[in-house]
Structure 1
Amino acid sequence: MSVERLPDRLAGHQRGFEKRFAEYFDSLEATLDVPAFSRFTPECLELLRALSMRGGKRMRVVLLYEAARLVTEAPVEGLDAAALSVELLQTHGLVHDDLIDDSATRRGGPTTYYAYRERFPEHPRAALGLTVLAGDLALALSLRVLLDAGLPAAVRQAMVEVQTRAAADTFVGQIVDLERDFTDTPPGDAVLHAVADHKTARYSVLAPMRLGLLAAGEQPGAHEAELSDYARLIGICGQMRDDYLDLFGDAEAMGKPTGTDIREGRHTYTVVRLLSAVNGAERAFVKEALGHRACTQETIAEIRAIGERAGVPDRMRAEMRQYAEQARQVAARWRPRWREDAVAFFELLPRWSVERSR
């Protein structure tokens, strides 16, 4: 398998899942027990649907299906339910992330929080509460879809355990992510990596791979160390790329403004690298802007220019390639055990994820 074929493989998984995801939301009207008088519940489900169906590479779905292909090329029952579960858990995370970050847009559309703020401009507490409940509903649905799957009870139970643990790890990751910013000095890489592992890797990489292997009849616990290493390295790459794009990315292509982490005073990979690379007046300028929500786009542009002059983008791209190569080496060790074509996919994925333009 070549890296040139990777986008087509990803697109194939994405197209198939988009149809299944739309059908799932269509089915909720008949399967979710909602009082007939309720207007807010259908509105909530429509907001969840709009956010869920709005773009994204569906990388968790890809990892899920490709993990099953490590074991067999034959169709595997339960993968569709598992795919719905991982994306509903992702929807939960997006709703709450946007609330925590006070983000107005997501993937070119309004966030759930801002949609509710517009819906209830005179009732801010109701808008806040409904946003939290929307995220909670997505989490509950992500577990229910597994419980309703037509799979042996032991497999269903194992899958629910994977998702429950992934959700708990992610919540801890969100907590320590916020805690990380309540320090006088920028954190070291050990802290940044731990946040990336808990907040991103465990639910975005490790859980989908565990689910895919379980569906295919493999026990992921027998390979826990290698799977965790691969997921952690991919998580670091992914979080570093997200942090990089927040300052050095294209706002139009991302569908959201740049400079959010600067305005929020967040000690991300990019901010930490930037503060360590500059000194004097430039460092003072960055520190003065850090945490100022009213920071203008002109100020963000100047901070971006400071980072570019200091070589921060080049340094971060080199680091991402380094972690991607480490992940590739982990995947390469799977060759004696699992199918060649699928192993090749997991070898190619880390570097492609770092180098892709979007």
Structure 2
Amino acid sequence: MTDYFATHAPAISQEIKDFFAERRRAARELSPNLEQSIDILEDFTLRGGKQIRPMLVLLGYELAGGKINKAAYQVAAAVEIFHKHILNLDDMADRDEMRYNGPTIWKKYEAVFEGWKDAQHHARSFAEIDGTLLGSFAFDLVRRAQLPAEIKLAVMEVLINRMYFETVAGWQIHYHQNQESLEAANEEVFIKGLDLVTARYTFVGPLKIGLILAGKTPSKLRKAVESYAMKVGLAFQITDDILGVFGDPKETGKSVGNDIREGKKTLLLQRAYQAAQPADQEFLADVCGRELRPQELERAQQIIRDTGSLEYSLQLAHQQIAVASQDLQAVQLSGKTAEEARSVLRELAEFIGQRKK
């Protein structure tokens, strides 16, 4: 898997750099402020991340018999740009200050506007404006790819409906649930949100785009890919939530404990609350949704361990990964490249179960 990522990451990054270079030249003719926005957006887009989504585009393409070319790299790059657009929205909603070991866009602007009256408001306003621009860049890059018009439209349909519309629905589910008490939180509702926000957005959408690039795809392959994507997506988010509470910020690039501070009713927290002693339930209910002192975070971590919630979440993630690999293995493929793509997807599933960032 690491070899596959190392092989294709430079080409994806180069497509992003080339696109931003062209946009920077256009911005320079209009406004120095717009040129500054391009610089900030390019830094945010290229600064870090695992590039899982663009790689899934390429893997889906190869799985269906496609041979990677410039157009495939452009679409993969567009998916990465779209993802960074979504992350900016996420950072603003969650008030995150750090992403990939650097400031989030709104935090970057807070430094730019230091000394301004109401600097934070202006910083968040510029992050909203720049984020909108970043989202448009994804569609612009798809438009520029040398592909048949019907393929471009089909790709955009996935971006709009699968990776935008459904993600917003999932966000809203979780956002409303975050305002509920831990006692009232419902695991089924949370899982539905995960299905929309992570499984469909991170895995189903990009893999489907890859299949679209390859043209007509057998229905058995489409169904197997979607089944794999849904299960691995659930496992991915479960492990992500675990890292949000137990991860090392130096490895994850994100602050630990943010999910608890934001009041997110993760599976990890719901299970811990259900199994905890009354005093610990009262403690979890109190800290969920507010700033945590270091010793409070440590106590929350201990409760999650002691109640078996951490072990339950890990086991569920591993079960999903095992079944996902079986789903993918059962489908018949044609050609060495497709078999290699399947092997990488199996390795990716295993990596997700063991990841530390």
Inter-partner Cα distance in structure 2 for 1:36 and 1:126:
24
Deviations 1:160-198 (A, max 9, x none): 111111211112222212012132335333212211121
Q: Does 1:71 align with 2:68?
A: no
3-state SS of the aligned residue for 2:79?
A: helix
188-197 or 58-67, larger mean C-alpha shift: 188-197
Inter-partner Cα distance in structure 2 for 1:225 and 1:98:
33
> What are the equivalent positions in structure 2 for 1:130-145 lying under 5 Å apart?
130-145=126-141
Number of the residue aligned with 2:345: 346
User: Conserved in 2, the CA contact under 8 Å of 1:78 and 1:151?
Assistant: yes
Deviations 1:6-34 (A, max 9, x none): 2222222223322332222222223x4x4
* Matched pairs, number: 350
Deviations 1:257-286 (A, max 9, x none): 211111111101221122123122222222
Q: TM-score, normalised by structure 2?
A: 0.91
Number of the residue aligned with 1:38: 31
User: Conserved in 1, the CA contact under 8 Å of 2:15 and 2:74?
Assistant: no
Decide which of 269, 286, 289 is 1:288's aligned counterpart: 286
Inter-partner Cα distance in structure 2 for 1:299 and 1:199:
29
231-240 or 96-105, larger mean C-alpha shift: 231-240
Inter-partner Cα distance in structure 1 for 2:148 and 2:140:
15
Inter-partner Cα distance in structure 2 for 1:75 and 1:266:
40
Structure 2: unaligned runs, 5 residues or longer: none
Q: Does 1:307 align with 2:304?
A: yes
Inter-partner Cα distance in structure 2 for 1:280 and 1:328:
40
Number of the residue aligned with 1:22: 17
User: Conserved in 1, the CA contact under 8 Å of 2:231 and 2:320?
Assistant: yes
User: Conserved in 2, the CA contact under 8 Å of 1:205 and 1:231?
Assistant: yes
Decide which of 320, 325, 346 is 1:323's aligned counterpart: 320
Structure 1 residue 49: Cα displacement: 1.0
Decide which of 169, 172, 178 is 1:181's aligned counterpart: 178
65-74 or 224-233, larger mean C-alpha shift: 224-233
Inter-partner Cα distance in structure 2 for 1:314 and 1:172:
29
Q: Does 1:115 align with 2:108?
A: yes
> What are the equivalent positions in structure 2 for 1:55-66 lying under 5 Å apart?
55-66=48-59
Structure 1 residue 227: Cα displacement: 3.3
227-236 or 95-104, larger mean C-alpha shift: 227-236
Structure 1 residue 106: Cα displacement: 0.6
Inter-partner Cα distance in structure 2 for 1:193 and 1:259:
20
215-224 or 274-283, larger mean C-alpha shift: 215-224
275-284 or 343-352, larger mean C-alpha shift: 343-352
Structure 1: unaligned runs, 5 residues or longer: 1-5
Return closer, same or farther for 1:96/1:171 CA change in 2, 3 Å cut-off.
same
Q: Does 1:87 align with 2:83?
A: no
Inter-partner Cα distance in structure 2 for 1:298 and 1:131:
33
> What are the equivalent positions in structure 2 for 1:162-177 lying under 5 Å apart?
162-165=158-161, 166-177=163-174
Q: Does 1:211 align with 2:206?
A: no
3-state SS of the aligned residue for 1:78?
A: helix
Amino acid at match of 2:355: R
Inter-partner Cα distance in structure 2 for 1:335 and 1:347:
15
User: Conserved in 2, the CA contact under 8 Å of 1:81 and 1:146?
Assistant: yes
Inter-partner Cα distance in structure 2 for 1:75 and 1:132:
34
Percent identical pairs in the alignment equals: 24
Number of the residue aligned with 1:96: 89
